[in-house]
Chains A and B, each alone.
Chain A
Amino acid sequence: MSLDNYLYLSAILFTIGAVGVVVRRNAIVVFMCIELMLNAANLSLVTFSRINGTLDGQVVAFFTMVVAACEVVVGLAIIVTIYRSRRSASIDDASLLKR
């Protein structure tokens, strides 16, 4: 099987994630979509590592996972706090930046 297929899959996953971030309102879902995009990127990194025959891509993939883990902690904390104070997990409600 050609390694290209992994890249296609990665592109499809990334697109699904991106569309999800843009379209959905529930913060948890948006968050999951972001995770999906990160993992899509991981998949392509590992694939490239395989294509090139070096370990660089895999190393970067590990870094991405670490960052993703940290991001989950912080992001979920924010979401939970917002939910506690507003009784809503809709990201459109948290729009205090405008004016």
Chain B
Amino acid sequence: MATNNGLVYLIALPLFGALALLLLGRKADKWGHLLATAMSAGSFAVGLIQLSQMLDREAELRPVTQKLFTWISVGSFNVDASLLLDQLSICFVLLITGVGTLIHIYSISYMSHDKDRRRFFAYLNLFIAAMLLLVLGDSYLNLYVGWEGVGLASYLLIGFWNQKPAYATASKKAFVMNRIGDMGLSFAIMIAFATLGTVSFSGVKEHSHHASEAAMTAIGVMLLVAAVGKSAQFPLQAWLGDAMAGPTPVSALIHAATMVTAGVYLIVRSNFVFDAAPTAQLLVVIVGAITLLFGAIIGMAKDDIKKALAASTMSQIGYMILASGLGPAGYAFAIMHLLTHGFFKAGMFLGAGSVMHGMNDEVNMRKYGGLRKFMPITFVTFGLGYLAIIGVPPFAGFYSKDMIIETALNAGGAKGIILGSVTLLGAAITAFYMTRVMILTFTSPKRWDDNQHPHESPALMWIPMVILSIGSVISGYLLYRGKAFKHWLEPLFEEHGEHTELLPPIVVSGLALTMVAIGVAIAVIKYQLSEIDNVAPEKVSIFTRIARRDLLQDDVNEALFMRPGQAITSALVKIDDSVVDGAVRGVGKMALGSGSALRETQTGFVRSYAVLILIGAAALIAAIWVVTT
């Protein structure tokens, strides 16, 4: 494989920005945001140069590597810290740095009143660097470093306003839940090392053909655990909603466009593992299917605009995970949906941030309404993202989601029918809750107080939104046209088996659009054509109440893990107190006790000691005499 010494700049630029801003401290307050934005843009430029060079080469010669240094060298086990840029990672590089740069620009204005803006930009740059390392690492170990790095950046940014205890708790919750996934990734690496003796992508790929299926399944399941944690999939999904505590640009970049999609990247990158382990692959599909409905159902009940979008993110990533579990037929569509989703969801989050900016940080959609007139640019850009996510042709989401539905239906047999129905149902629910968000925010009558003065955001904020909305209009068609994206990624995957077509594509599209129309129609009837309270109605069915409580995700976690965990902890404290400390204290007491018992033999009379010494000496001499004669 060809080497390219330019790859390191992708990571080095934002990493330098982060270090400079963190080390210089308050001195960099005046210009820190500009440096960070420039570093992110520079990284994007390097990515574009790499893409243009890659396009010039033949398909087989496209991947390039760069060895940075020898990291681990023990006996026959060698791990280099090296980077790999291939057709898959370049997509991520451009998404991360491109969307990342736009969000940097947006944040300059969004965070302008925050006295810690420099620290915010340092963390953003740190995130960009870590995320690039995640997608550029050429082995699971290198990926793991980036994986932990984005976890750290996510933690720091969710808790950016950690002066509010609830926000600090949210960041801790995200971090702790992510640890479970990280544990899965480290187990996967350990199993790969123990059974295959290598942890690099190419090494594992080589061994995947003749390794035992049990080993591949074990690695696959552990990788799935990792993906589930990072991508907020069922059953580790509970952290994502609370992660909205972070500033909105963070939600857009980390918890919508890039970091949460790292799980999808991991599964698609490990395609050779999952191709060799059908059981693990089936689990991936099941997780995706459950989450896509789970998130969609939560999305229907949320009144907090950011939490509604977060639930939607969870659901859309469910689509991607499902697609990546469908084998070679689905990998390209998973990534395609990931890219289009990166555009429209980031755009919508920025739109939500713009709405909050104009509404004194109010997040309750029941206190919005009629903002179309006051924020026309936000309305249009958010609206384009909305059309993209519900899958209206020719917007981006139509192509990517339609492809996933089609692939799911064509998975064959009962599996295909179940998955097809789930994805179609998900499309309908998506249409419903997104229409609800649109209506509650923009088109329904106003429900805010007179002391609110909604206004359009400054240009630094709406320009990134406009660019992202253009992306959410055209990116789907560009990637879909002539199966361009599928062919682009094809060299990475091993195609096998012929495709069955359950239904012709045009019928699938028709079905999907019908479902979308039903979803939109119900939402319009329920919200546009009827009165909306500015407080959530109390008298609702048990199902709505459960959905409002995030389908009891926190209650389940609390009952199954937190309470027993606390019980174990307090039991251990008691054991520590009584057994461990008891033993230590017992030794001390024994010494004291025997001391005071022996003290009784001390009379203090010199003459009695003299007698004892005399008797002792006599006895000693007698003993020696007896022994020697």
| Partner-B contacts on A (CB < 8 A) | 18, 21-23, 25, 30, 91-92, 94-99
B610 touches A21 (CB 8 A): yes
> Looking at the complex, which of B26-34, B117-125, B601-609 is the stretch in contact with chain A?
B601-609
Leading 6 A-B pairs by shortest Cβ distance: A95-B604, A98-B604, A97-B604, A91-B606, A21-B610, A98-B603
B610 near A92 with CB under 8 A, answer no
Interface majority SS (helix, strand, loop, mixed), chain B: helix
Is B611 a contact of A98 with CB atoms below 8 Å? Answer: no
Q: Are A97 and B614 in contact (CB under 8 A)?
A: no
Checking A21, A97, A99 against B607 with a beta-carbon cut-off of 8 angstroms, the contacting residue is A21
Instruction: Give chain B nearest CB distance to A29 CB in angstroms.
Output: 12
CB distance B599 to A92 under 8 Å? no
CB of B609 to closest CB in A, whole Å = 9
Contact check: which of B602, B603, B606, B611 meets A94 at CB < 8 Å?
A: B606
Contact with A along B506-545 (1 / 0, CB 8 A): 0000000000000000000000000000000000000000
Q: Taking the nearest CB of chain B, how far is it from the CB of A82, in angstroms?
A: 11
Min distance, Cβ B619 to any Cβ of chain A, angstroms? 14
How far does the Cβ of A20 sit from chain B's closest Cβ, in whole Å? 10
How many angstroms between the C-alpha atoms of A23 and B614 in the bound complex?
A: 13
Whether A18 and B614, one on each chain, are in contact in the complex, defined by CB atoms closer than 8 angstroms, is: yes
Whether B602 and A22, one on each chain, are in contact in the complex, defined by CB atoms closer than 8 angstroms, is no
Residues of A within 8 A of B603 (CB): 95, 97-98
- By a CB distance below 8 angstroms, the chain B residues around A95 are 603-606
How many Å lie between the Cα of A22 and that of B602 in the bound state?
A: 17
How many residues of B sit at the interface, in one of the four size bands? Answer: 10 to 19
Alpha-carbon gap, A97 to B602, bound state (A): 7
Judging by beta carbons under 8 Å apart, are A99 and B606 in contact?
Answer: no
B604 touches A22 (CB 8 A): no
Residues of A within 8 A of B602 (CB): 97-98
Which B residues are closer than 8 A to A by beta carbons? 599, 602-607, 610-611, 614
B611 nearest CB across to chain A (Å): 5
In the assembled complex, the CB of B326 is this many whole angstroms from the nearest CB of chain A, namely 87
What are the residues of chain A within 8 A of B611 when measuring CB–CB? 22
How many angstroms from the CA of A30 to the CA of B607 in the assembled complex? 9
Residues of B contacting A21 with CB < 8 Å? 607, 610, 614
16 A–B contacts from the bound complex (CB under 8 Å): A21-B610, A22-B611, A22-B614, A25-B607, A91-B606, A92-B605, A92-B606, A92-B607, A95-B603, A95-B604, A95-B605, A96-B604, A98-B604, A98-B605, A99-B599, A99-B604
- Complex: A7 Cα to B577 Cα, angstroms: 67
Residue in B closest to A97 when the chains form the complex, CB atoms: B604
Q: Give A95 to B605 CA distance when docked, in angstroms.
A: 5
CA distance A53 to B602 in the complex (A): 45
A1 to B157, CA, bound (A): 108
Cβ contacts under 8 Å, A96 to chain B: 604
**Contacts A92-B607, A95-B605, A95-B606 supplied; 11 other A-B pairs, CB < 8 Å:** A21-B610, A21-B614, A22-B611, A22-B614, A91-B605, A91-B607, A92-B606, A96-B604, A97-B602, A98-B604, A99-B599
User: Which residues on A sit within 8 Å (CB–CB) of B610?
Assistant: 21-22
Q: How far is the CA of A95 from the CA of B609 in the complex (A)?
A: 11
